Copies of this chain bind each other. A is one copy, B any other.
Amino acid sequence: MAVYFPEVDKVKFEGRTSTNPLAFRYYDPEQVVGGKTMEEHLRFSMAYWHTLVGDGTDMFGTGSAVRPWDNLSDPMDIAKAKAYAAFEFMEKMQIPYFCFHDVDIAPEGDSLKEFFNNLDEIVAIFKELMAQTGIKLLWGTSNLFSHPRFMHGASTSPNADVFAYSAARVKKAMELTKELGGENYVFWGGREGYETLLNTNMGLELDNLARFLRMSKEYAKEIDFNGQFLIEPKPKEPTKHQYDFDVATVLGFLNSYGLEKDFKINIEANHATLAGHTFQHELRLARVNGILGSVDANQGDELLGWDTDQFPTNIYTTALAMYEILLNGGLTPGGLNFDAKVRRGSHEAIDLFYAHIAGMDAFAQGLVIAQRMIDSGELEKFVDERYKSYTTGIGQKIVNNEVGLKELSEYAMENDQITNSSGRQEYLEAVLNRYLLES
């Protein structure tokens, strides 16, 4: 069997003092943190599209990536090479999961039929490789945004044929996900939105988006696919305005259409910041609403206005993300999928290893920091103390819904000289630094 990355052996944990660029310094899959191994906590996943398909193209430049299959030309040969390379990569990187869009893994050909045949052929290879390696499918999905037929949307296209076509694609992708034992199915609606309101029937489009999701869920039941269904919010890009803007928007949409029990959220860090939120905000909001399902682990550049999909290396971000995830009781059946791409100038195959190591180490260390924060209870205690007025007296009555404006007004007339406690933001930021630097 061909070896695609002969220059790299299995990447191993060597500890924090190692300067070996092809070793983990923080990620030790077997290290137990808070009662579970790092592997169980983190559930890392490789994103097939970036790692196997991405070639460094950007809006002003063509692909720069140098890849071991560059010598091939037949689309199916390339697809197969990528499949084998993917599993070699994941094994060497100790990544236990992967995610894919249908178009990532097989050529579309000239018809749906041909595409589905191509998919079946590759999926058979996947099954074999999964059995051999123990690597699993975190989630599958269908790419309903890249082909020009989706130029005006998929389920929100003004063209009913596109809606039907999209349905066929989701049906197939869901079947394949089931076949591969996928634990989740994701909907990211990159073209489900509008370019200009001048040509848009927003009401119909929103209704159709809901219809599409409902049909999908119904079909899952029909075929007994029990994976978790996830919606991935993004505010914009490629579309001027996307309907799944952020967690709050999706939550409202699901509620409006009675879909709130059928879908959870897949939160991407860079999508959060594009929507004007921190990553932690989106995780927290999903968590307190009970809809935090999975995570696309990357980071953006807040000074740039587009989705840079960088590998997550900021320890503050990974620590605070893991803090929310731990408080959520983990992500299972979701996971941490590296929806991240090497920079266009990091064009060598080995950069894929460096980049995943950087991201995995950053999340491993983030996990350790977060667990220490939770173990000490320092932050939680501060917060509990801050809100303690709601545990007795008038506060308790408020929380128990025992008072209305009238009773509260009477209370306030007698208690109108109010003293507040400091929120201590600067102090808490120093506390966070203590955990960050001393873990």
Contacts and interface: CB of A to CB of B under 8 A. Distances in A.
A61 B420 contact: no
A394 interface: yes
Contacts of A424: 199, 346, 351, 354
Given A251-B252, A361-B433, A238 B164 contact: no
A216 B405 contact: yes
Contacts of A408: 163-164, 167-168, 171, 215
A26 to B, nearest CB: 8
**Chain A binding surface, main DSSP class:** helix
A423 to B, nearest CB: 4
Given A197-B281, A252-B251, A255-B256, A168 B383 contact: no
A284 to B, nearest CB: 5
Interface stretch (A67-75, A120-128, A270-278): A270-278
B202 A379 contact: no
A426 B428 CA distance: 30
Contacts of A253: 248, 252
A3 interface: no
This chain: copies in complex: 4
Interface in A30-65: 56, 58-64
B301 A358 contact: no
Interface in A262-309: 273-278, 280-281, 284-285, 288-289, 301-307
A438 B16 CA distance: 8
23 contacts: A62-B147, A113-B413, A148-B347, A151-B344, A160-B390, A161-B389, A170-B405, A195-B345, A195-B423, A198-B431, A199-B428, A204-B399, A211-B401, A251-B252, A252-B252, A276-B303, A313-B429, A315-B437, A343-B423, A346-B424, A351-B427, A354-B426, A358-B429
Ranked 4 nearest A-B pairs via Cβ = A305-B305, A252-B252, A160-B395, A167-B408
